[in-house]
Each structure stands twice: as structure tokens, then as C-alpha cells.
Structure 1
Amino acid sequence: MSLRAYLTSKIFFKQMIAAISIVLVIAFVFFNMLSYFTNHGEEITVPDLSKMTVEQAEEKLDSYDLDFVILDTLDYDKDFPKFAVVTQEPKPGAKVKSGRKVYLKLNAESYAQVVLPDLIEKTFRQAEPTLKSLGLELGEITYKPYLGKDMVLEMRHNGKVVKPGTKLMKTSKIDLVLGDGKIAFDENEIDSLLQKYEEGNE
């Protein structure tokens, strides 16, 4: 039988249909087995672990057949309990497969300490952003006679004078005593000037 006659024969078409059927069956079995081994369609919704302790988060994730890894401790946030979950990845509501790891970041135990910078004889415009950049809060502003207007003369915390280099908790309030731009004379200087004036007029 010639090639042309074979390609147009019933035998060829039957064999072609059989081959296509075999390929389709193999493909069907393969993709079904792949779905079985990859847990296709068995997705888990990640729970919200916010503000949970590590123990509570572990218990919750175990019930969902999920694992966890603690990545880091973040700066203390007063809106969260100590060592509670602050952020998680994947986010709550995300769809994942069984056994997936959820990465956690926890709240610190307390505010970190910062070193009070030397702001003496710095201007208020320099002092304010410096304090805020360190996580310190600006407290009460008072003035006293001094030639340099708005120049920092003293730093106080809880009513006490604090020196540069003092370690304080973040969010501590720092009160500043500034110069009012006026020259100050103490009583002794005034008395001395009056005495000289009176002696000069005798």
C-alpha cells in the first residue's frame, strides 16, 4: 500500500483516533495526580494574629495546619501588648496551602532608650526637629532673660534639669528654657551701676 493510500485509509484514522485518545487519557491522569500532590483547591485562609501572644498565635496556626517564624521585634507600640504580634506575612485573609509558614514581627517590651543630644546654645528651630527625630516629645517652653533670642539655655525632664548625654525613654517630654532676646543684669550689677552714677554726681 502506498503512503498516500495509507494516510487516507480507515486504518490510519482509527490509529490516529486511538493515539489521540491515549494522549488525552494520559494528560487527564497526569493533571489529576498533579492536583492531588500539590493540594490543588485545598487553600487555607490565613487568620488575623494581630495583638496575639506567641503562644496564642502558635495555637491558632496549629488549628489551621500552618507554621510560623518570628522575624524581628519592632519598636514599642503602646497600642499593642508587650511581645504581641504587630505584623504578619502573608496578611490576614490571604489564601495559602497547608503547612505554609507565616512570618511574624512582635512588639517590644518597652520603649527604647535614646541619648539626649547637646542642644545648649542651639536655636529652638534646630532643637525641635532634633528631639522629634529621636522619638522625644517637646514639652513646655519657658523663657528667661538672655541676649540670644530663642536659644536653648536648659533642658528639663519631669521638672529636673537634664544634661546632654542623659539616657531617656523614647516619647519622654523635654521642656526647654529659651532666651528671650533681652540682656539680663543681676541686682549686684544694677546696685554697682547706681553707686557709680551717684558718686559721679557728688
Structure 2
Amino acid sequence: MNSFSTSLKKILFNLLIILSITAFLGFLFLKVYLPFYTHHGETVSIPDLSGYNYREASQLLEKSGLQYEVSIDSGFSTELPALAVLKQIPESNSQVKTGRKVYLTLNARNAPIIKMPNLVNMPLKNVQEILAN
């Protein structure tokens, strides 16, 4: 019985050492390494790029330490010059980490081409309704 209790004490003592080492390593990982690796608390404010030219916007983003990608979709606005920034994701003044990608939607160079329906030999009311749609 005496040898059983001593071996049980040794096992519990070893388990306690293993658990304390595991807890210490977990603490180091969560409180030291992870915040260092993810740059916890270090943020950059995204500038407002709407209306800027593509080159100007890319220079502003590079100065801020941000990456950018131009969206495949483009819009068209007659009020802005060609290749001006129409929309950005994330929005301006958002707090993000350095190196984050900002997605830009640019103004198209040319107006979109719309297919004109065949309106020849149709009553005026039908033509007005088709054009309104």
C-alpha cells in the first residue's frame, strides 16, 4: 500500500508539472507571441479617396502603408474624370492594420453602351413605355 501511494504521488506531481508548463506556454503564446505577430493595437486610418485620380490614390495608399486592388467592376459618372475613384472598401476613416488591401472602384473611361431597342413602326405609347423602362 505504501508503494502505491508513493507512485500515485509521483504521478500527480509529474502531472502538476506538465499542466503548469502547458499553462505557462499557453500564456506566453496568447499574451506575448500572438499580439506581436498580429500587430495588436497598431492601426492606420484609411484616407478618403473619392474623387482622386488613380495615380494619386495609389500614392496616398502606399504612403499610408496600405495595399490596393482595383475592382473589375467600374461605374460611370459624368461628374468625375476618367479613372477617378468612385468607391472604396473599407470606407474612409476606418481603422485597419498596415498592409490591409483597399478595394477601389474606378470611373470608366467611356460611357456604357446601351443597346437601343427596335422602335420602328410601333405606337407612340408603346415606345414611351419601352424607353421609360
Superposed pair shares fold, TM > 0.5: yes
Unaligned runs of 5+ in 1: 134-202
Which whole-Å CA distance do the structure 1 matches of 2:28 and 2:92 have between them?
Answer: 35
Which whole-Å CA distance do the structure 2 matches of 1:93 and 1:6 have between them?
Answer: 64
1:90–1:3: structure 2 CA closer, same or farther, 3 Å change rule? farther
Q: What residue in structure 2 maps to residue 168 of structure 1?
A: none
Q: Tell me whether 1:34 sits opposite 2:34 in the alignment.
A: yes
CA contact (8 A) 1:73 1:107 kept: no
Which whole-Å CA distance do the structure 2 matches of 1:89 and 1:107 have between them?
Answer: 15
Q: What residue in structure 2 maps to residue 72 of structure 1?
A: 72
| CA drift at 1:54 | 0.9
Per the normalisation by structure 1, the TM-score is 0.53
Which whole-Å CA distance do the structure 1 matches of 2:77 and 2:14 have between them?
Answer: 73
CA contact (8 A) 1:72 1:104 kept: no
Q: Which has the higher helix share?
A: 2
| CA drift at 1:115 | 4.6
Q: Tell me whether 1:3 sits opposite 2:21 in the alignment.
A: no
CA contact (8 A) 1:68 1:101 kept: yes
Which whole-Å CA distance do the structure 2 matches of 1:130 and 1:97 have between them?
Answer: 50
Q: What residue in structure 1 maps to residue 24 of structure 2?
A: 25
Which whole-Å CA distance do the structure 2 matches of 1:58 and 1:96 have between them?
Answer: 17
Secondary structure in 1 aligned to 2:80? coil
Larger Rg computed on CA atoms:
1
Q: What residue in structure 2 maps to residue 131 of structure 1?
A: 131
Secondary structure in 2 aligned to 1:72? coil
Alignment of 1:1-202 (within 5 A): 1-4=2-5, 7=8, 17-31=16-30, 32-72=32-72, 74-133=74-133
Which whole-Å CA distance do the structure 1 matches of 2:33 and 2:77 have between them?
Answer: 48
Per the normalisation by structure 2, the TM-score is 0.75
Unaligned runs of 5+ in 2: none
CA contact (8 A) 2:66 2:99 kept: yes
Identical aligned residues as a percent? 28
